[in-house]
Amino acid sequence: MFAYIVRRVIATIPVMGIVAIFVFSLLYIAPGDPAAVIAGELASASDIARIHSQLGLDQPFLVRFGHWAWQVLHGDLGTSIFTNQPVTELIAQRLEPTVALTITGLIIAVAFAIPMGILAAWKAGSWIDRSVMAFAVLGFAVPSFVLAYFLILVFSIELRWFPVQGFASLREGIVPFVSHLVLPSFALGLVFSALIARVTRASMLEVLGQDYIRTAQAKGLSNTSVLLRHALKNAAIPIVTVIGNGIPLLISGVIVTETVFAVPGLGRLIVEAVLRRDYPVIQGLILLFSASYVVINLVIDLSYTLLDPRVRY
């Protein structure tokens, strides 16, 4: 196991290197000139040239990439062009809302999707099965921002149960923290749950047709025991895989959800950075998301040994 983890960690080095090259190249391939944006519409050519020199944009690509990569290896993601703050500081300021929203959204998605998928497989062909599949199709068809605005209209404006927008830190109290997270978490999690529910149903249907399931039923075991202890355990690997591979979908949903609910997280930070062409912030956030995805995939792979004793690394 330890040797496998070491190999996987080493294998991530070229992957992150390719990501770093692509991310840094955004400064050159993206339209627009950050120096011209900073200087303003009335700036002269000399003003823009001076800003180019201050930002190092007049240096060759390899020189600038080598300097930037060396800083990244030392934990320095650069400095924001507009706020003049370190990118790591900006990320730290916005990290709590995004982490809280992502975790609660994932919990809601799993809590809704897996029971629905199990129930749909158990009652295959019934109205329950068709209802679950209709929910799954609807979940893919309805954009997350549409669901978000619907939740705001019903539960914030009409019923006045939850705040319309904003975020309250956990330091401000558990009640404000939870009340501000409920609607964005449901808007994020319900869309993701559609994918998990479909895969759970398909995986459970395949397992429920196996001989050992019929043997467990013939022994007189309860439906709960058969579904959870025997079927779900053997169907878990595809489910866990789709949850891990769906993390990018969840992250993209976080960006939209934070924008709709005015949550001051990393999603809004990257939107603001793109609009202002703040390339150091964009580069730092893409690297952070990429590294998170690599780590999550490693954790998912390692979890296979816990779910299936036949899997060994």
Complete domains list, the chain, with CATH: 2-73 (no CATH), 98-307 (1.10.3720.10)
pLDDT in tens, 223-280: 777 777 767 777 778 888 888 777 777 777 888 888 888 888 888 888 888 877 777 8
**Phi, psi at 4, each rounded to 5°:** -65, -45
Type of residue found at 19:
V
Structure-token pair, residue 230? 């025997």
Tell me how far apart the alpha carbons of residues 91 and 267 are, in angstroms, rounded to a whole number: 10
How many CB atoms neighbour CB 84 within 10 A?
7
Read off the pLDDT of each residue in 163-182 and give the average, rounded to a whole number. Answer: 83
* Residue 43: predicted pLDDT: 67
Tell me how far apart the alpha carbons of residues 84 and 44 are, in angstroms, rounded to a whole number: 22
Residue 38 confidence class, pLDDT cut points 50, 70, 90: low
Which carries the bigger pLDDT value, residue 234 or residue 188?
Answer: 188
Provide the phi-psi class of 76: left if phi over 0, else alpha when psi is between -120 and 50, else beta.
beta
pTM of the model as a whole: 0.80
